Amino acid sequence: MPTKTIFIRSHELPAAIEVEIVEDALVADLLEAIKHAGIAINADTAIFIDEAEAPHAMTPNLPAIDLRRGSHVHVTKCKKIEVTINYLAETATHKFAPGARVRRVKAWAIDKFKLSAHDAEEHVLQMCGTTRRPASDTPLNELTDGKTCAVCFDLVPEKRVEG
């Protein structure tokens, strides 16, 4: 039976786990792969495929739709992640799906704060109160602690030129 490689991500794992799953997987197959990866699933658990806005159905005999080769499966308690972004004297918040990537949040912030194309290129998202600047392809779910479904960023210049 043909298989495909997917990646399972969870707060219970130190990094994404690569697993093989049958090509025409049912939700039961996906749940078994998650369990085999050592992740406990209960009534509060939600599963998101890639950057999907809504959690995947947990009905075991349904097909695992949108599960493609290379998909990232986010196993989380967060159905949405509230993102707060600070820019100059302004603050904005918006809720994103757990699989949404940092680049999508930055695009939203650029639009929200009405940055010019030039300014947008020169700014990055930095975790509030730190110097940590997550890569643009980082899913938001990886930036939370699994209990608090929120992330805070400062939109800051990438480099400061002094002189």
Distance CA 158, CA 52 (A): 29
Distance CA 146, CA 7 (A): 18
Distance CA 113, CA 120 (A): 10
Q: Is the pLDDT of residue 146 over 90?
A: no
Q: Is the pLDDT of residue 162 over 60?
A: no
pLDDT of residue 160: 60
Distance CA 129, CA 107 (A): 21
pLDDT digits (tens, 9 = 90+) for 125-144: 999 999 999 999 999 999 99
Distance CA 102, CA 80 (A): 14
pLDDT digits (tens, 9 = 90+) for 71-129: 999 999 999 999 999 999 999 999 999 999 999 999 999 999 999 999 999 999 999 99
Output the pTM of the full model.
0.88
Cβ contact 153:105 at 8 Å:
yes
pLDDT digits (tens, 9 = 90+) for 2-45: 999 999 999 878 889 999 999 999 999 999 999 999 999 999 99
pLDDT digits (tens, 9 = 90+) for 57-74: 999 999 998 899 999 999
Distance CA 2, CA 21 (A): 9
